[in-house]
Amino acid sequence: MGYLVGEENRGLEYMFIMMNSARYAVGMQGIAIAERAYQKAVSFAKDRVQSRPVDGSIKSSLPIIHHPDIKRMLMTMRAYTEGCRAMAAVAAAAYDAAHHHPDAEVQRQNQAFYEFMVPLVKGYSTEMSQEVTSLGVQVHGGMGFIEETGAAQYYRDARILTIYEGTTAIQANDLVGRKTARDGGQTAKGIAAQIERTEAELASRDSLDARAVLKRLKLARETFIEVVEFVACQSKASPNAVFAGSVPYLMLAGNLVVGWQLARSLLVAEDLAKAGTDVAFMTAKVATARFYAEHILNKAPGIRDSIVEGAGSVTALALEAF
C-alpha cells in the first residue's frame, strides 16, 4: 500500500527538498576531506627535510615548507577550503532565514539565494576537493602515492563526490535552467549587487590587501554579469551554446562567491586585528583572502571567454572524428 505525501502532481517539487539537502551535505563532505588533506600536507611539509632554500639563506637542507612552491600548494589548499566553508556557512544561514525570518519577503529572498547556492556548494566544493586532495598527494611527493601516509586515500574519497547526488554537469544544468534562465538572471544579478556593496567596503579601506582583493573581485563580478546575461538571453535561442559552458559557468559562479566570502572575512579580520583580537589568526585570514584573489579568483576572465566565445569549438568536431 502506498501513501500520498503532500499534494498530487507536486512530487518533483518535493523531491528537490530532499535533493537540495543531500547535495548540500555532499558539498560539506568535500570541504571536510579537503580540510583533512590540508592538515595532513602541512604536517608533512613541516617534518620532511629536503633541499636548501633557493635564495641561499641557509646552507643546509630544511623542511620543505620553506620552499616557495610548497607554500603555493599549501596556500591553494587553505584558500579553497576556507573559502568553500564560508560559502557553505552563508548558504546555511540563508536557509535558516528562509524558514524562520518573520518577514515573508525576506524569507522569499533568502530561499532564492539558498537555492542558487546549492549547486555551487555541491558542485564547486566537490570539484575543489579533488584539486585540494591532489595537491595533498603532490606535497607528499612519492610518499603521497602509496598507502603509508594516507594522502592518496583522501584523493580517492574526494573523487566520488563530483558524481553522486548528481554529477557536476547536473548541478550546472540546474544552475543554468532553474536558477538563472528561469528568472532571467535576476537572482544572479541580485547576488552580484550584494558583491558590489562589499567592493564599496573594500574601496573605503587604505590597506594594500583590501585594494588587491577589490581589484580581482570587481573584475570577477563584472565578468560574471556578462556570463549571466549570455545564459539568460541565449538559453532558448542557442541552448547548445549555453550548455556547452554550463560547468564553466558553475565554476565561475562558485569562484566568485568564494572570493566574495573571503573578501568579507578580510574586512572583519582587519578590524579585529587592529583591535588586538587574535592578531596572528586574523592576519592569516587576510593573507588567505588576498592569495585567493590573486591566484584563483583572477581566473574568472578566462572562464568568461570560454563560455561566451568558446561554444563553437566544443561542438565543432564531427561525431565520427572522436
Catalytic residues: 165
Q: How far apart are CA 207 and CA 22, in angstroms?
A: 41
Grid coordinates representing 157 are 574519497
Mapping DSSP to helix (H, G, I), strand (E, B) and coil, where does residue 253 land? helix
Mapping DSSP to helix (H, G, I), strand (E, B) and coil, where does residue 138 land? helix
Distances from the Cα of 40 to the Cαs of 46, 54, 85, 121, in angstroms?
10, 24, 18, 23
Which residue is it, cell 500520498?
Answer: 4
Three-point CA angle 315, 320, 322, nearest 5°: 65
DSSP state of 178: I
CB atoms within 10 A of CB 238: 13
Mapping DSSP to helix (H, G, I), strand (E, B) and coil, where does residue 229 land? helix
Mapping DSSP to helix (H, G, I), strand (E, B) and coil, where does residue 63 land? strand
Grid coordinates representing 283 are 592576519
Helix (H) or strand (E) holding 280: helix 279-295
